[in-house]
Amino acid sequence: KLNVGVDIIQHGVEGLVYLLTESSKLMISEVDFHDSIHVLGFSDELNKSLLQLYLDNRKEIRSILGELAPRLPSYHSLEWRLDVQLASRSLRQQIKPAVTMKLHLNQNEDQTAQVLQTDPATLLHLIQQLEQALGEMKMNHCRRIVRNMK
């Protein structure tokens, strides 16, 4: 009926879905949304229609996106043990430490456990990386991103 190819209509619908979902995720204001679609070169009437469509449906889109989000496991407890091999038949004097951890997780009211083993140097490196990530989360730029994600 429109005398337009299927690919063009499919790309148009996908673009519209992307525009509405990303705008709803970020909960952008009316002015920001209008500025975003203004650069696309649409007519003023179409821009107003898109803005109204966004304003009418953004809360519903956010709730649907929240339901579709994967449910990640959460931390419950951690057990750990330090094992040290002091000698073997072939090497009488060796020190080979290993840290074994049992991580208990909750997911959808089910409890699972993961057993992890590493050497102390790798564990220290992991701790440093996690502390660096926590430090970066305190920066203003990251706070703004996290605030907009909620």
Report if residue 134 sits inside a domain.
Answer: yes
Full domain range(s) for residue 130: 123-149
Overall domain count for the chain: 2
SS3 53: helix
CB 114 within 8 A of CB 103: yes
Which of 21, 42, 68 is a domain's end point? 68
Give me the sign of the Cα torsion angle 61, 140, 75, 96.
positive
Full-model pTM: 0.49
Q: Per the domain annotation, does 74 fall within a domain? A: no
User: Does a structural domain hold residue 111?
Assistant: no
Sign of the alpha-carbon dihedral angle for 71, 75, 79, 81: positive
> Which amino acid makes up residue 123?
L
pLDDT at 149: 64
- The answer to whether residue 84 sits within a structural domain is no
43, 68, 93 — which closes off a domain?
A: 68
Tell how strand 110-118 and strand 74-85 pair up: unpaired
Per-residue pLDDT of the chain (150 residues; tens, 9 = 90+): 778 888 888 998 998 899 898 888 888 888 888 888 888 888 889 889 988 998 898 889 988 888 887 788 899 999 999 999 888 878 778 888 999 999 999 988 889 999 999 999 999 999 999 999 988 888 887 777 777 665
